[in-house]
Amino acid sequence: SSSSRHDALRDKRTRILSRGLPKQKPIEGVKQVVVLASGKGGVGKSTTAVNIALALAANDSTKEVGILDADIYGPSIPKMMNLKGNPELTPKNLMRPLKNYGIACMSMGFLVEETAPVVWRGLMVMSAVEKLLRQVDWGQLDYLVIDMPPGTGDVQLSVSQNIPIAGAVIISTPQDVALLDAHKGAEMFRKVHVPVLGLIQNMSVFQCPKCKHETHIFGADGVRDLAKALGLDVLG
């Protein structure tokens, strides 16, 4: 029948497309990977990543948690985690993460000068991401939170296709432009078969420090509306 021919053709196409994809290989010592993503920059993704990592550790003191800053061009985790310095190397030539507040952290920011711009082409960026994924001695981690760069480009695809990911969390502000990009981000994860755990709305409200009046400067329900359209949960 035409429907069985269509199914056979679709399966064949899927097999051909998947031939070129890298085989997913877990990060040694890491049990669960959660990625934090946003389509647009400047929506508070790194802040949320830090808060989620600290919350996971505070929620259960028996769990070991780490953060990987995959934003090569604009690493902000070192500043947020109050960390400076260069990682030590193990005898196996793996980088040891720096640690603060009980969280193991690895970032491109530890490998370049704080004020130095990273002026790299795509291949160099991909090589750096590969090193951050595969050449770090995480010890034993229950959770690794990966702070992704904004957008839906090479880094996001490479991370999603190289390692098994338990789920993605998408951060957005309620503005229309941010929501458009967040929508693209959610669709990208669906295409690479990464479950989207839900959306987080950031910068929802401004409270006047004097009179305590609350103003929704970017609109009130943008992320809630997007989550409804995508059939996803609003996490906070």
pTM: 0.83
Question: What is the reported pLDDT for 159?
Answer: 85
Q: Which of the four pLDDT bands, split at 50, 70 and 90, describes residue 125?
A: confident
| β-sheet with 103-107: strand ranges across | 98-100, 103-107, 65-69, 141-147, 30-37, 167-172, 196-201
Shortest CA distance to 45 belongs to which of 188, 147, 141, 168?
147
pLDDT tens-digit readout, 165-209: 999 999 999 988 889 989 998 998 988 889 999 999 998 889 999
Tell me the per-residue pLDDT of 82-121, one tens digit each, with 9 for 90 and over. 999 889 999 999 999 999 999 999 998 888 766 655 666 6
Every domain of the chain and the residues it spans: 26-230
Q: Does domain 26-230 have CATH number 3.10.580.10?
A: no
DSSP 108: G
User: pLDDT tens-digit profile of 128-170?
Assistant: 888 888 899 999 999 999 998 877 677 878 888 889 999 999 9
Is residue 223 pLDDT above 70, yes or no?
yes
**Across the chain, what does the average pLDDT equal?**
86
pLDDT classification of 212: cutoffs 50, 70, 90: very high
Residue 195 has a CB neighbour count (10 Å cut-off) of 11
